[in-house]
Amino acid sequence: MKVLLAGGAGYIGSHTAIEIAKLGHEIVIADDFSNSKPEAVNRIRTIIGADFPFYEIDIADKEKLRALFAAEKPEAVIHFAGYKAVGESVRKPVAYYRNNLDTTLTLLEVMKEYGCRNLIFSSSATVYGAPDEVPIKETAAVGRCTNPYGWTKYMIEVILKDVAVADPDISVVLLRYFNPVGAHESGLIGEDPQGIPNNLMPYISQVAIGKLACLSVFGNDYPTKDGTGVRDYIHVVDLARGHACAIDYAAAHKGVEVFNLGTSVGYSVLDMVNAFETANGVKVPYKIAPRREGDIAECFADATKSRELLGWKAEKTLVDMCRDSWNWQSKNPNGYDA
């Protein structure tokens, strides 16, 4: 199938491009580099060993998106094009609502115009807010988000469900990601956060390489096994493979379906620090700091539905996640910048 990856130069998009190209799909990437780098596109080409069309456009630019659809005629779209920093979304809510909703609405309008009926959306476990119980099933309550970023994911899910009701020919797959970490095993592509990282794994990597002095562990008084927050860390290559399964699912089904992409296993912050040190033979100095506002104690998936309906499950281990994160960080201490 010919697949457009909207926002495909970013962390998850770049890994997905490789996994789906490997399966024989034709790929087209569109990205405005607002949170990614042109070098990522070069490296995707190196890993795949082939060229593909790339468009430097803002997905919310309707005329440019139309031109892309007219030229490429994609049969499916994977929609990664959105802002994703939780803290920034609190400071710039209008920019987040504008960008994340506009890209989605523009894609929907142009897809309809050009008869493209398959859409895979990058949603997030953040739509569950503070869950009533773990592991979290897809049927758990959604909403109760704690920041504008989370609300954009929630709102886009609502929009896509409405679209699927109104248009019986469309297929929509909502993928709720848990905590993506790791990198492609080549060390050529990986997560390249702007400025000081917000997320745990890039922060640990930058402490290990000496760019940052010390990890702050946000809270050790949660009701978890060691008091630190527990999350479902998933290797980004496993997550990328989930998108390939979602393309097949969308092609075979109409309507809207939602899937958790997680491992179903929760690890604490201290588990992650220890695993990273052991896997890579490095030191990660840390100190206990106050809780971070908006954080929850525990969040991990019940991924049974993805196994049963998508035929997908996470295969990589915690050691793989730590080793591949470090491989990327140590080979690219400044990310994609030379």
By annotation, the residues acting in catalysis are 149
Minimum CB distance to ligand UFG smaller for 179 or for 332: 179
Shortest spacing between CB 94 and ligand UFG, in angstroms: 19
Shortest spacing between CB 77 and ligand UFG, in angstroms: 21
**Can you tell me the distance from the alpha carbon of 41 to that of 52, in angstroms, rounded to the nearest whole number?**
10
Minimum CB distance to ligand UFG smaller for 245 or for 273: 273
Residue nearest to ligand UFG (CB): 229
Residue 76 pairs in a beta bridge with 3, 118
Minimum CB distance to ligand UFG smaller for 75 or for 191: 191
Token readout for 135 is 């592991």
Minimum CB distance to ligand UFG smaller for 34 or for 216: 216
From 21, 94, 19, select the one nearest 51 (Cα to Cα). 21
Please report, as ranges, the residues that interact with ligand UFG according to CB under 6 A.
84, 86, 124-126, 178-179, 198-200, 203, 215-218, 229, 231, 269, 292, 295, 299
Shortest spacing between CB 318 and ligand UFG, in angstroms: 14
Shortest spacing between CB 52 and ligand UFG, in angstroms: 27
